[in-house]
Amino acid sequence: MEAIRKQATKLREQVAKQQQAVLKQFGAGGYGGSDTLVTDEAELHQHQKLERLYISTRAGKHFQRDIVRGVEGYIVTGSKQVEIGTKFSEDSRKYGAENTCTSGNTLSKAAMNYGRARAQMEKERGNLLKALGTQVAEPLRAMVMGAPLEDARHLAQRYDRMRQEAEAQAIEVSKRQAKVREMPGSPELAMKLESAETKLQDLKSNMSILGKEAAAAMAAVEAQQQRLTLQRLIAMVEAERAYHQRVLQILDQLEGEVFEVLLPGLNWNGMVLIFCICLYLDHNPHLLLLIDDIRTTTN
């Protein structure tokens, strides 16, 4: 779509140059003055403003869509992680509850503590995914698919078509002015020129009104895009921050519980469990150092 739009813009520029050449050919005095050209300063400013707004809202829409896709992908992946983590939690608690070890229950207690903590962390992850869906993805998706943006873009496109029509009519007026200069006494040519000039003025008037309406609508959409997207980004950061803080609290509590259970009668199986916990969570790398210290002490 971007390539097509660039090609269309290039074609329009070529047509505009051809139109200006025709205006110079037929101008010389009447319509060729800056007071009657369609592309006067005010209209040109309006056109450029709409172009900038169109580009801005298009980029904003694409960014919103990228956020939605990213969040949806994160939710899909996170849901799978919740599923795996929940199964891991159940397996750990099952082992702890069965307590098949004949020489003690140290590992069983640690497994029970870990299973409980893992279940809590997966619950927090599920809450995060739900928040990302309802607070980030859904509002942005609604705006991407919403009517205000499409309505504003349709107004801008209508203005663009009317502008092209006015440019074509300006050339028609210039041609008729040239004919009147060639045959100044012809009432028929004078009437046709007057009719063409009236049509051009109507087009310019309507184009000005429609341009202001389109610019106002596009500016409103741009402001809403910027505000809503920023709010959703902040909401996403806050949700993730709260999630990681809560997980850190759970891990801190788990660390204390595990070592409280393991220190009185630590054996190699307990050390292996701690090592697996460290590898799986990847949140507390300092556990590895503690394992080395404990192993040195027990040896």
Q: Has residue 6 been placed in a domain?
A: yes
For residue 277, tell me if it sits in a domain: no
Contact 170, 37 (CB under 8 A): yes
Q: Calculate ∠ Cα 258-263-269, nearest 5°.
A: 75
Asked if the structure places residue 287 within a domain, the reply is no
CATH of the domain at 238: 1.20.1270.60
pLDDT attached to residue 36: 41
Q: How far apart are CA 276 and CA 86, in angstroms?
A: 16
Confidence band of 37 (pLDDT split at 50, 70, 90): very low
Question: Which of the two residues, 246 and 180, has the higher pLDDT score?
Answer: 246
Asked if residue 8 belongs to a domain, the reply is yes
**pTM surpassing 0.95?**
no
pLDDT tens per residue, range 58-100: 999 999 999 999 999 999 999 999 999 999 999 999 998 988 8
CB atoms within 10 A of CB 232: 22
Whether 29 has a pLDDT exceeding 70, the answer reads: no
| Alpha-carbon torsion, ordered 212, 214, 216, 221, to 10 deg | -170
pLDDT tens by residue, 258-296 = 877 766 655 556 556 665 665 555 555 555 555 556 555
pLDDT for res 57: 92
Q: How many domains does the chain have?
A: 1
Task: Evaluate whether residue 274 is within a structural domain.
Answer: no
> If you average pLDDT over residues 137-163, what whole number do you get?
88
Note whether residue 57 is domain-resident: yes
39: CB partners within 8 A, 6+ apart: 16, 47, 167
Can you give the pLDDT at residue 286?
56
The whole domain housing 74 covers: 2-28+40-97+104-265
Q: Which residue has the tokens 């969570």?
A: 281
Specify the DSSP class assigned to residue 104. -
Domain membership flag for residue 141? yes
**Between the CA of residue 117 and those of 8, 103, 128, 242, 283, what are the distances in Å?**
60, 25, 17, 17, 13
Dig out the tokens for 247 from the structure.
Answer: 């997980």
Q: In angstroms, how far apart are the furthest CA atoms of the chain?
A: 122
Place of tokens 């300063």: 41
**Residue 136: other Cβ atoms inside 10 A:** 25
Residue 279 lies in a domain: no
